Amino acid sequence: MSMMAPPIILLKDGTENKQGKQQIISNINACSVVADSVRTTLGPRGMDKLIVDSKGKTTISNDGATILKLLDIVFPAAVVMCDIAKSQDAEVGDGTTSVVVLAAELLKRSKPFIEEGVHPQMLIRAYSKAAQEAVRYLDSLAVKIEGDSALRDMLVKCAMTTLSSKLVSAEREHFANMCVDAVNILDERLPLNMIGMKRVPGGSLLESRLVRGIAFQKAFSYAGFEMQPKTYAKPLIALLNIELELKAEKENAEMRIASVDEFQKIVDAEWNILYDKLKKIHEAGAKIVLSKLPIGDVATQWFADRDMFCAGRIPQEDLDRTMAACGGSILTTVTQISRDVLGECDKFYEQQVGSERYNFFEGCRKAQACTILLRGGSEQFIAETERSLHDAIMIVRRAKKNDSIVAGGGAIDMELSKHLREHAKTIAGKEQFFWQAFARSFEIIPQQLCYNAGIDATDVLNKLRHKHAKGEKWAGIDIHSEDVKDNMMACIWEPSLVKKNALISAVEATCLVLSIDQTIKAPRTPSGGTLPGFPQQ
C-alpha cells in the first residue's frame, strides 16, 4: 500500500475558513440579528435605543443608520446591513430602518430554498428580475403633485410622515413647517451645509426657531467688548484668520541695547504693527470683525472706541458659513484689505438664547442660508431632535427635487406585494416560488408596524390583503385608530424615491449576501508580529 499524501497546508495556521451551504445560512442568520436590533424602532409607535459606547458616551436614537453606526459589528457578512443603512441615509435621508428590515426579511424567505439545495444564483437572478418589476410598478403608482400651494402642502405632509416615528412626533407639525421653510430659503441647488443647527439646552421644544440667516454662539470676549454696539443695519463684515493681540516675549532672543530710547523703539514697533493692522481694517469700512484666532484686549478696546464690533476664536465652520452667505473672503493678511473682500448682510444683532448669547446675521446677500436653533431639556434629547430634523430636511429636499409621492404606513408595500404575487402566477417553473417569496417579503413592513404598536398583525394583514385584492391600492394601517384606512386620504405620504431606493438597496444587499459562499478570516497576529509557534527569522 502506498503511503497517504501529506495534507497540503495552504493558509496560515489559525485561519478560519467556512464554506458551502452552511456558510450562506450562518450569514443569513447574522443579518437577521442585525435587523432585530433596529426592528422595534420602525414606525410611529417604534421604541428608541440607548447605546453607550466604549468611552461612556450615551446616545438615544430612533434612526436606523445612527444605531447601526454605533454598533460595533464584527461578523463580516453582517457589515453589509450596516452599509445599506448608511447608503440609504446618505442618498435619501430616511427609511434607514425599513431598508434593513426588508433586506433581512428577503434573506429569511430565501433560507428554506438554500437549505433544500437550490443554487443561490437562481435566487439572485429571480430577485433581480422581481426588483425591476417592482420598481417599474412603483413608478407607475407614484402620484405627481402640481401647483405651488399643493407642493408646499405635500412637503409638509412628507416631513410629518417622517417625524411621526421620531421622539418629537408630538410637535411634528411645528417642526415639519420649520423644515419646509428652511429648505425653501435655500437656492435651487438646495445645499445642505447652508442649514446650520445649533443646540441650546433649556426651554421647551416649541421654543426652537428658524433664523433666516446665520447664527452662532457669542465668541470668547475680552475686556472692552461691553462698549461695542450690538446691532447694526447693513454692516460690512471682515472675516480674518489673523491674531490681533500683543505677544509676550517667549523666545530667548538677545538684544544689545545701548540706551533707553532704543528699548522704547522695540516696544513701540510691536504696538505700531498692531495699530497699523487695526487702522487698515477700520479704513476699509468694516463694522464687524470676525476672526478665527483671538482678538486681544487692546484691539477690542480700539474697535469699541470706533463703534465697531469684534469677535475672536470663532469656529472654522461658522466662519465658512458666514463667508458663503455674506460674501467676502477669509483674509490672512490685512495689507490689501478693501471693500470687495468684505461681506455684507442686512442686519446684525446679538441676543440672549437660553443661557447663552448668540450673534445673528440676517438678510445675507450672497447665498441663502438659515440656522435652526434647537431647544429642549437634555443634551441627548436635543441631539436626537437634530437627527430627526436632518431626516425630515433630507426628505423635503428629495420631495422638492422629485415631486412624486406614494402612501406610507404599509400601503405601498402591500400593493407591491399584491402586484408581484399576481405577476408570479404568469411564470412557469420553480422560479414562481422565488417570486412568491419575494412578494411576501414586502409584508414585513406593515407587519412590523403592527407589532411595534401592539396591534394584532394577522388580523390587520388579512384586512389589508382583502382591500388590496379589491383594488384599494392605498389601503394602509392607521396606527391611531388601530385599523385599516386609505392612507392617501389620511395624508400619510412619502416621496416615491424613498421606497425606490430602499427597495433597490435591500435587493442588492440580499443578492450580495446570498452570493458569498466562503469566508476566510486571517488570524490575528500578536503585537510581536510573529504567529505563535513561528520563531522570529
Q: Which residues are catalytic?
A: 63, 96-97, 391
Q: What single DSSP character describes residue 311?
A: E
Q: CA angle 175-181-184, nearest 5°? A: 145
CA-based nearest residue to 213, from 374, 361, 365 = 361
Would you give the distance in Å from CA 3 to the centre of its chain? 64
Is residue 517 helix, strand or coil? coil
In this structure, the number of other CB atoms found within 10 A of the CB of residue 208 comes to 23
* Nine-digit cell string for 379: 443634551
Percent helix, strand and coil across the chain, each rounded to 5? 50, 20, 35
Alpha-carbon distance of 62 to 39, in angstroms, equals 10
Q: How far apart are the first and last CA of the chain?
A: 39
CA-based nearest residue to 238, from 317, 336, 358 = 336
Q: What are phi and psi of 144, to 5 degrees?
A: -85, 145
Conformation bin of residue 429: beta by default, left when phi > 0, alpha when psi is -120 to 50: left
Place of cell 470687495: 340
Alpha-carbon distance of 513 to 28, in angstroms, equals 7
Q: What is the DSSP secondary-structure string of 359-405?
A: EEEEEESSS--EEEEEEESSHHHHHHHHHHHHHHHHHHHHHHHS-EE
* Nine-digit cell string for 209: 426657531
Q: Torsion over CA of 11, 12, 14 and 18, rounded to 10 degrees? A: -20
* Nine-digit cell string for 266: 522695540
Q: What single DSSP character describes residue 167?
A: T
Q: CA angle 426-432-437, nearest 5°? A: 125
420 close to 133: Cβ distance less than 8 angstroms: yes
* Nine-digit cell string for 104: 433581512
Q: Is the dihedral of CA 81, 498, 487, 175 positive or negative?
A: positive
* Nine-digit cell string for 295: 482678538
